[in-house]
């Protein structure tokens, strides 16, 4: 998919460069040869993708919400009166059963891959213009299928069967005419695109803009044209090209050419690369690791041979195994692409063995261990040999790949969640400022560090941050708990602090039993307090009120306290916070 995106970006860049070149020398206005193309359009793609991803039936009223309005609306919702651009509240009033789905561009492109694959079943090369819209050079494909009608029929059938969604196909010369034809399910005869477009309103121009920023520019342009009284495309295209460029700039020039039924660039086709997979079915369900290790080696060698035969390498390998109970055990391993060819099968053997050992010994998470019936390896992120991306300076570093392998080994030993990758993120308390994820997993968008975060605990950061805050006692000179009221006034300066100690410590346990320890009345289950330590110096209270609008709202006051040991030497420094009448220990500066 990244390939697709980059190609689209490249195509866009070419288009922009084209427009820029046009603005420099208006005389060089010769269009690229207009290509006859068929366009496959899936109506309301964002909502179709969201529904198929969420497993909602096609007859449910659903809509995708983006920003403040509905971005795409399903057919059932449209019948109920929901329209594009409607606010959430209005839409829910029109249709109370409306399922509102979040917007996700990645999901749109990802799910559209199945549609593209279904179209590639019929024709050899397609261009994904944007999720929901496919472009196919029609000439060759139509010759192969007999006529454009049969090509359109084959495309519609294939998409309905393989991808499970309705689509419309149209064909015409030039980009805009083809898109309009697809929306109307028409086949415009060759050479008549300009007439076909002449009656269309200028409002159709944004349909040919594939990128969001460009579409916004074109929408602005359309607004100006309508206010100038140029409502149909024929009115607009009748203007001299030079004047359009002078008045509207490159966007106007682009729209002028598109509106006349010309192309600004030829379609960029993508070739499908199939995932390479090998699979081994056990004649008898296998459970012993030695047996599996042999098979793992065999399968890995097969995959290596298949990759070599296809002349490609892969960036990731998906190992999947099926158990007797029908459970799927699946995990994706990264492999470093560039470095090795012969060593590949040995490394994959190791990984398969680690994974299976982990499952069968029950140490890693997953379904119940059971004998395996089949084992499969799928190569993903397939790239042709020799086009792998190495580091900017030199090749893949040996230490880096060694460390990656080590961590994968530990993951196979302890489970994938036992090894964490950490990142810094924005936040106020030391605990909030860390984002930790299982090693190798893609990071979620973190809170931004650059934001100001008023009330953040100042540096230096504490070296020990408790994952869960621990109770703590902050006492005044008389031994009564210090309290902080709503106006941040402290009842008394803190004089003593009692930290929790390990209850297994014998001296602490003995002290706990003594009536003067302050444990009387707390029963057996309460925390075990250590000796009261005098406060050397303190700072605060610093108020932190966060997310008052949400259920996880918190309101605390923080205190930095430096303690003194009983022998008079300086002790540790702690970060304590007071929330809901209780003191907790947040972090230790040790």
Partner 1 sequence: MSTQTDPDASQQRRLSRARAALKGVEARIGAPRPATDRPVLPLAPELAPLLPEGLGRGQVVSVTGATSLMLALASAASAAGSWTAAIGMPTVGVVAAARRGIALERFALIPHPGAQAAQAVGACVDGMDVVLLGERLALSDADRRRLAARAKERGGVIIAAGEWPGAHVTLTVERSSWDGLGAGDGRLIERDLTVAVGGRRQGAVRRVRLALDAAPGLRFARTGARIDVDRVNVDGEVA
Burial of 269 (0-12, 13-18, 19+ CB in 10 A): middle
Give the HSE-up count for residue 519: Cα atoms under 13 Å, Cβ half-sphere: 20
**281 or 417: whose CB is closer to partner 1?**
417
**260 or 433: whose CB is closer to partner 1?**
433
Q: Which residues bind partner 1 (CB under 8 A)?
A: 363, 397, 399-400, 402-403, 405-407, 409-410, 413-414, 418-424, 430, 433-434, 436, 439, 458-467, 490, 493, 536-540, 560-562, 569-570, 572-573, 587, 589-590
Least gap, CB of 400 to partner 1 (angstroms): 8
Least gap, CB of 226 to partner 1 (angstroms): 52
Least gap, CB of 240 to partner 1 (angstroms): 57
Least gap, CB of 457 to partner 1 (angstroms): 9
The residue among 102, 106, 128 whose CA lies nearest residue 115 is 128
**E strand or H helix at 552:** none
The residue among 186, 210, 55 whose CA lies nearest residue 130 is 210
Least gap, CB of 479 to partner 1 (angstroms): 19
> Quick check: 318 and 331 in contact, CB under 8 A?
yes
**200 or 465: whose CB is closer to partner 1?**
465
Sequence-distant (6+) residues with CB within 8 A of 275 are 378, 379, 380, 382
**Torsion angle (degrees, nearest 10) of CA 133, 137, 143, 145:** -20
Least gap, CB of 83 to partner 1 (angstroms): 47
CA separation, residue 92 to residues 65, 66, 82, 99, 565 (Å): 12, 15, 8, 9, 64
CA separation, residue 231 to residues 176, 215, 278 (Å): 17, 18, 58
The residue among 502, 499, 504, 532 whose CA lies nearest residue 516 is 532
Ramachandran region, residue 457 (left: φ > 0; alpha: ψ -120 to 50; beta: rest): beta
Q: What is the DSSP string of 215-242?
A: HHHHHHHHHHHHHTT--BHHHHHTS-HH
Least gap, CB of 294 to partner 1 (angstroms): 23
Least gap, CB of 306 to partner 1 (angstroms): 29
Residue with tokens 């100690």: 501
């Amino acid at each position: 998919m990244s390939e697709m995106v980059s190609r689209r970006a490249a195509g866009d860049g070419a288009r922009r460069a084209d427009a820029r070149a046009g603005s420099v020398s208006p005389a060089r206005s010769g269009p690229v040869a207009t290509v006859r193309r068929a366009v496959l359009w899936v109506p309301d793609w964002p909502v179709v993708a969201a529904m198929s991803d969420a497993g909602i039936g096609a007859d449910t009223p659903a809509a995708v919400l983006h920003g403040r309005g509905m971005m795409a609306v399903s057919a059932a919702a449209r019948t109920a009166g929901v329209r594009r651009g409607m606010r959430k509240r209005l839409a829910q009033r029109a249709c109370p059963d409306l399922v509102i789905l979040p917007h996700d561009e990645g999901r749109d492109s990802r799910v559209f891959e199945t549609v593209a694959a279904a179209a590639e079943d019929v024709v050899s090369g397609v261009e994904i213009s944007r999720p929901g819209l496919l472009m196919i050079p029609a000439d060759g494909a139509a010759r192969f299928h007999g006529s454009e009608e049969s090509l359109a029929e084959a495309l519609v059938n294939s998409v309905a069967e393989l991808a499970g969604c309705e689509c419309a196909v149209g064909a015409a010369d030039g980009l805009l005419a083809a898109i309009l034809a697809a929306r109307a399910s028409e086949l415009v005869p060759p050479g008549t695109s300009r007439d076909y477009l002449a009656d269309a309103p200028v409002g159709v121009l944004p349909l040919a803009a594939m990128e969001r920023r460009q579409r916004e520019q074109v929408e602005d342009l359309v607004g100006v044209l309508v206010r100038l009284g140029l409502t149909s495309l024929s009115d607009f295209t009748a203007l001299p090209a030079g004047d359009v460029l002078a008045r509207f700039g490159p966007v106007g020039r682009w729209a002028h050419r598109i509106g006349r039924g010309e192309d600004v660039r030829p379609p960029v086709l993508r070739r499908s690369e199939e995932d390479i997979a090998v699979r081994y079915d056990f004649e008898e369900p296998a459970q012993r690791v030695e047996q599996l290790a042999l098979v793992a080696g065999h399968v890995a060698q097969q995959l290596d041979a298949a990759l070599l035969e296809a002349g490609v390498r892969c960036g990731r390998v998906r190992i999947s195994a099926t158990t007797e109970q029908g459970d799927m055990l699946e995990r994706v391993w990264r492999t470093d692409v560039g470095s090795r060819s012969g060593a590949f099968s040995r490394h994959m053997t190791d990984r398969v063995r680690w994974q299976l050992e982990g499952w069968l010994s029950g140490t890693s998470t997953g379904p119940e261990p059971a004998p395996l019936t089949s084992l499969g390896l799928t190569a993903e992120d397939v790239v042709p040999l020799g086009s792998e991306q190495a580091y900017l300076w030199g090749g893949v570093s040996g230490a880096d790949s060694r460390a990656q392998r080590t961590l994968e080994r530990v993951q196979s030993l302890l489970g994938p969640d036992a090894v964490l990758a950490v990142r810094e993120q924005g936040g106020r308390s030391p605990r909030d400022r860390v984002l930790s994820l299982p090693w190798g997993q893609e990071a979620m968008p973190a809170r931004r560090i650059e934001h100001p975060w008023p009330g953040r605990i100042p540096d230096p950061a504490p070296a020990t941050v408790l994952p869960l805050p621990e109770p703590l006692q902050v006492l005044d000179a008389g031994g009564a708990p210090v309290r902080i009221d709503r106006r941040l006034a402290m009842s008394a300066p803190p004089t003593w602090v009692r930290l929790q100690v390990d209850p297994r410590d014998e001296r602490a346990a003995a002290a706990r039993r003594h009536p003067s320890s302050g444990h009387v009345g707390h029963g057996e289950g309460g925390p075990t307090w250590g000796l009261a330590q005098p406060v050397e110096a303190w700072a605060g209270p610093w108020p932190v009120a966060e997310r008052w609008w949400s259920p996880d709202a918190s309101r605390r006051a923080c205190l930095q306290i430096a303690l003194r040991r009983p022998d008079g030497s300086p002790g540790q420094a702690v970060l304590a916070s007071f929330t809901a009448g209780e003191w907790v220990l947040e972090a230790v500066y040790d």
